[in-house]
Amino acid sequence: ETGVTQSPTHLIKTRGQQVTLRCSSQSGHNTVSWYQQALGQGPQFIFQYYREEENGRGNFPPRFSGLQFPNYSSELNVNALELDDSALYLCASRQGQVRNYGYTFGSGTRLTVV
C-alpha cells in the first residue's frame, strides 16, 4: 500500500504571495490533517478533514484554508504569505474517526517565504 505523499517537497515564495500544497492520503484513509512544524518545534495542528468536511481547526488565521476531494486527497492553501509562515507543512492521514490508530505522516513540504 502507498503511504502519504505530498507535493511539492520544497517551495520558495515571496511575502504576500499565495501557495497551494497537495497531499494524497494513504489508501483507505478518509481523514486528513494538516500540521505546521517550525524548526525545532513540535507539529502544530492547522485543520482536519473527514469525508470532505472540515471537522476541526487549530489557532491559525483564515488565510489558511483547505479542501478535501472525493478521493480523500487534500490541499492546503495559504494566502498573503508572511515570513513566519516558513516551516515544514505536514499532511497526516488515518482511517476514519477511530481512536485506535496512529496517523501516517507524509514527508512534508518545506516552505520558505522570503
Contacts to other proteins by CB under 8 A: 33, 35, 41-45, 48, 55-59, 90, 92, 97, 99-108
CA-CA distance, 13 to 86, in Å (whole number)? Answer: 9
Reduced to 3 states, what is the DSSP secondary structure of residue 63? coil
C-beta closer to other proteins: residue 69 or 101: 101
Cis peptide before 8 (omega within 30 of 0): yes
Q: CB of residue 98 vs other proteins: minimum separation in angstroms?
A: 9
Q: CB of residue 100 vs other proteins: minimum separation in angstroms?
A: 7
User: Going by C-beta distance under 8 Å and a sequence separation of 6 or more, which residues neighbour residue 102?
Assistant: 94
C-beta closer to other proteins: residue 28 or 56: 56
Q: CB of residue 3 vs other proteins: minimum separation in angstroms?
A: 10
